[in-house]
Structure 1
Amino acid sequence: MLVEEETNKYENMATQQEDEEKALVIWSIINCPIPDGLDPCLVVPRIQTALEKSRRGRPYGPLSITAISNNLTEIPGEDVMRKLSSAGISLKHAHRVSTDMYQWARRNPPPATIMVISGHVELECLASTFSGLKNKGYRILLTYPQRDPVLASLPKHCFWETLLSDTDNNLETTTRLVFPYRLDHGTGELPWSCSVCHYDAPTFEDFTKHLKCETHAYFEWDMYASKNNVDRTNPANLQLGRSPEWDLLAKESMLYRSAIRKQRGAFAPPKRSKMWVDATTFK
């Protein structure tokens, strides 16, 4: 009798741990936008339903959903951003989904599930990453627009339109939504962040204000300049006179890069100084 009770105890513990499996959803909202006429608040339960169906109706433990775009104020727009935020979705200004996936996987060992919602081009670029995560024990689920080519070589997938059109209300979604911890920012579990400026916003209003400020615009340009080898030691390339915030960052960058060039004899992009990071407080 004691042996049987002990066996049942460990079986129940194993079942509970399996039901507590964590899940991450990274949603490239610019590649998979919300269709016109669909209430943004319905996106969360549709995603939860799709995830739980993939586990034959079993709920997950903590679930994190992050919507990523490099132009959130336009796609999906401020009104939709507010609705998504109120529904428990984190919002992040970023140009790619891979960083969040890597960071979350480092903090959450398998068994765990990662769903990536994006276009087929970005998903194909991450094919080797998905394969590596799958080999480590992660469940990989992919979702992309139906108009895109079928990705036969990638893990299990479904169409974005199919996920959103699922009207099955018989499945009770009990998965608990949580905000992902930001390893690169270090300010805690905040649902609004900008990877370009390394900034976590304390409120939704602060986040939208930041996305419209000159400091954010400068760091977007700075990233573009880095990718295109723009010489930022030349004042003619810095658009000086645009705003006090822009000039502060541009001149500090120019002086620092000029000093690096003199010391090394060649251009070497420097790390952002503390002043640059602090400047993101200009909202």
Structure 2
Amino acid sequence: MTFDSKDEDGWPDNTKISVWWHYESCQVPKYADGGLIVNNIIIALKNLRLYGPIKFSVYGNEKMIPESVIESMHKTGITTIYEPEGSNLQIIGDMWLWALRNPPRATYVLIYEDQDFSHSVSRLSGLGYKIILARPDNRCSSLHWSWTDICQGTSAVKSVTGNLFNHRSQMQEQRNRFPLDDNRPSYKSPTGEEGSYSSLEDLKDKVLSVAMDQHGSQFLCQQIEKQTTEDTEAIFSEVKDRVCLLMFDQFGRHVVKELFLNCRKEKLRYLVSSVTADFHLFKALCLHSQGSHFLMELLYSDLMTQEEIAHMISALKEIAIRLLKDEIGARLIQYCFHIFSEKDTKPIFDVIVSNCRQIATNQSGCCFLQDLLSEGMVTPTEKRLVAAIMENLFDLSINQFGNYLVQHLIGIGSASLTAAMVGVLTRKFDYLSMDKYGIHVVERLMEASEIEHSSQIIDEIVSSPDCSRAMLSRLVQSARNTGKRNEQHKEPLASTLDHFA
């Protein structure tokens, strides 16, 4: 999609425009459709006198986007990229890869609400890219388009002029921190034939872009495999500060892997540092499906020394809480606990224990913590985690996800632990029994407890003026289940039930 003109600054008509739509936070209203919104975005760009080839990418869970919307987007030529549910940082890595392939003065239109994008937006702006943000109305400012106006139709969007998020004062500083060549090299070989590369010498200052081309990646890998010091050094010198970005790319990551396989110790250390150098990009990499998988392969291999492992663990520790709230990130942390010793992973575990409540009240984090606890819980690390759960027992019991962790702990714990949990929750059972999540914890405790503790729980609940007959019936059934498993307590239980009947 191209318009033959120039923008307000007189920039060339081939200046590229990329639209990055995070569907989860900016969904299509019922009164609009994908085709209408695409048309409105184009009109709004024309209002800003921005012209050039336009690429649309929509990120969202496939199940979330209605079929009618997907169909209308396909008809208008939109590239639809499905990402795992709950993860929204794949888009960051792809945005930076697009920056590597397209020089500044290109335009980003970012449709989103999540603050995870803010750092990358600021950096890209400082590099000279034009940034336009489309946000929900409650997040609008002078720098944003109104998402509601974009969705409403041609008449509404004609008034959208927008402003460019382009802080020129930051440009030189950002260029120094993250230099990008204004003239992107072509993926074609020096002879002009795609997929045909004559020599590494001809690719001087072009290695980074060539590494993200299928044939170029194969050529560079072959040169590295030859283990010629001069060739490996030439490739290393051009990509060493962009390793994290290459790991997002399906072809670039092969070059990175070959460098890890063939570099000397001091260069290997530099590569590991380069991967983790940018906090925000490293976080995005860990939450990127392919990037995270590549990191797992790297960690499992024999390529990294104990020093590099410690460095990577230290970097993961800084973002562990964010990772554990995402299915992909939690899988990466879980993998580290599986392949490394308790001593190696202690820094991450310390963060988990200190932030147990925050992690346990997240769906992904709750599942992760359940996996950390085994039957009996005999290791020192498991005991520390149990202690952290006990400190937050009540808050977790009334949480939609935390209650599952508490129930899991009851199921695998000893009789003494169950008794301790009853003690912690004493004088709170009346509240728990009326909470839609807490009631499940109460029932689980009654089923797992000795008869004296079950009687104690029932006694406390029925003493409450808010106890209903339905609630009592439900608790009596849980008490009966206790009696079935504890035949020796059948008579005392019968007396207890008669008393409350």
Task: Compute the TM-score of the two structures, normalised by the length of structure 1.
Answer: 0.53
Quote how far apart the aligned CAs of 1:110 are. Answer: 1.7
Quote how far apart the aligned CAs of 1:51 are. Answer: 1.3
Taking only the aligned residue pairs, the percentage that are identical comes to 24
Match of 1:157 in 2: 144
Q: Are 2:56 and 1:65 equivalent residues in the alignment?
A: yes
Match of 2:41 in 1: 47
Cα distance per residue 1:50-83 (max 9 Å; x no partner): 111112xx5x2211110011x22x2213342232
Local SS of the residue matching 2:66: helix
Match of 2:69 in 1: 80
CA distance in 1, matches of 2:65, 2:123: 32
Distance 1:108 1:79, change over 3 A: same
Structure 2 counterparts to residues 213-252 of structure 1, below 5 A: 221=327, 223-227=329-333, 229=334, 233=338
Quote how far apart the aligned CAs of 1:226 are. Answer: 2.3
Q: Which letter maps to 1:225?
A: R
Answer yes or no: is the 8 Å Cα contact 1:27–1:66 preserved in 2: yes
Local SS of the residue matching 1:45: helix
Match of 2:29 in 1: 35
CA distance in 1, matches of 2:337, 2:66: 32
User: Cα RMSD over matched residues?
Assistant: 3.7
CA distance in 1, matches of 2:67, 2:153: 26
Distance 1:161 1:169, change over 3 A: closer
Local SS of the residue matching 2:19: strand
Local SS of the residue matching 1:65: strand
Q: Which has the higher strand share?
A: 1
CA distance in 1, matches of 2:335, 2:250: 27
CA distance in 1, matches of 2:122, 2:327: 34
Task: Compute the TM-score of the two structures, normalised by the length of structure 2.
Answer: 0.31
Quote how far apart the aligned CAs of 1:160 are. Answer: 0.4
Cα distance per residue 1:195-229 (max 9 Å; x no partner): 6258xxxxxxxxxxxxxxxxxxxxx85543225x4
Distance 1:222 1:132, change over 3 A: closer
Distance 1:170 1:68, change over 3 A: closer
Quote how far apart the aligned CAs of 1:92 are. Answer: 1.2
CA distance in 2, matches of 1:169, 1:146: 14
Q: Are 2:82 and 1:93 equivalent residues in the alignment?
A: yes
CA distance in 2, matches of 1:16, 1:62: 16
Query: Number of aligned pairs?
Result: 180
**Larger relative CO (CA 8 A, sep 6+): 1 or 2?**
1
CA distance in 1, matches of 2:152, 2:39: 11
Deviates more, 1:125-134 or 1:156-165: 125-134
Distance 1:231 1:131, change over 3 A: closer
Distance 1:113 1:225, change over 3 A: same
| Alignment partner of 1:113 out of 107, 121, 124 | 107
Structure 2 counterparts to residues 127-142 of structure 1, below 5 A: 127-142=118-133
Q: Are 2:249 and 1:184 equivalent residues in the alignment?
A: yes
CA distance in 2, matches of 1:68, 1:170: 23
Cα distance per residue 1:9-66 (max 9 Å; x no partner): xxx9xx99622211111000110000003132212111111111112xx5x2211110
Answer yes or no: is the 8 Å Cα contact 1:33–1:75 preserved in 2: no
Answer yes or no: is the 8 Å Cα contact 2:150–2:156 preserved in 1: no
Distance 1:16 1:158, change over 3 A: closer
Distance 1:46 1:170, change over 3 A: closer
CA distance in 2, matches of 1:170, 1:116: 17
Q: Are 2:117 and 1:126 equivalent residues in the alignment?
A: yes
Q: Rg larger in 1 or in 2?
A: 2
Structure 2 counterparts to residues 244-263 of structure 1, below 5 A: 257=339, 261=340
Quote how far apart the aligned CAs of 1:141 are. Answer: 0.4
Distance 1:225 1:49, change over 3 A: same
Cα distance per residue 1:240-261 (max 9 Å; x no partner): xxxxxxxxxxxxxxxxx4xxx4
Distance 1:27 1:222, change over 3 A: closer
Cα distance per residue 1:130-178 (max 9 Å; x no partner): 2322222211100111133x456xxx2111011122414999xxxxxxx
Answer yes or no: is the 8 Å Cα contact 1:93–1:196 preserved in 2: no
CA distance in 2, matches of 1:45, 1:34: 14
Distance 1:108 1:224, change over 3 A: same
Answer yes or no: is the 8 Å Cα contact 1:46–1:164 preserved in 2: yes
CA distance in 2, matches of 1:157, 1:144: 6
